[in-house]
Amino acid sequence: MIYRVEEAIKKGIKAFILKRRIILPFKCHVLKVTIGGETFSDTKPPNDEHIIIDQEPINTSIYFLDVSSLRELKSKHPTVYAIVANYDANLADPKTHIPIAIEITEGHEAPIRKISPDELYIE
C-alpha cells in the first residue's frame, strides 16, 4: 500500500533499518537530514558524499555512507531528523514541508513521529 507521510505516521507505521539504510514507509522528497549535528541537504543525484536518497515505487531510502551500521550511532545520536514532503507536493510551498524524527532502535523497526513545535530542531 502507498502511504502519504502524515498518514503513515498517524497509523504508526515504522521505518525499517538495515545496517546503514533507513527505509521510510512512504515515497517522499527528502529536503534535509540531520544526525548528530551534521546536516545534509540538496541531496539530489548525484547525491551527497555522506548520504544517498533513493526513491522506490512506494518507499524512500536514506543511505548513510559514513557508518557501517546506524546502531553505531545510537548511543550518541539516537534520532535522525529530516524534513520531508509528499512525493506529489509543491516543494516551493513551505507548508508542504513535514519535519519528522526517526528513532534508531536495537531492532530493525524504527518509530517515526512528526516533530512537535516545542522540540528543538532548526530548519
Compute the radius of gyration of the chain from its Cα atoms: 13
CA 16 from centre of chain: 11
12-64 pLDDT per residue, tens: 999 999 999 999 999 999 998 988 878 887 655 555 678 889 999 999 999 98
Task: Give the strands of the sheet with 38-41, arranged side by side.
Answer: 38-41, 28-35, 79-86, 98-103, 112-114
User: What pLDDT is recorded for position 82?
Assistant: 92
Identify which has the larger pLDDT, 103 or 119: 103
Look up residue 106 and give its amino acid: E
Q: Say how far apart CA 68 and CA 85 lie, in whole Å.
A: 27
Residue 71 has pLDDT above 90, yes or no: no
The structural domains of the chain, with segments of one domain joined by +, span: 5-114
117: which 3 cell numbers? 513545535
| Class (C level, CATH) for 5-114 | mainly beta
pTM of the predicted protein model: 0.88
Mean pLDDT of 54-83: 87
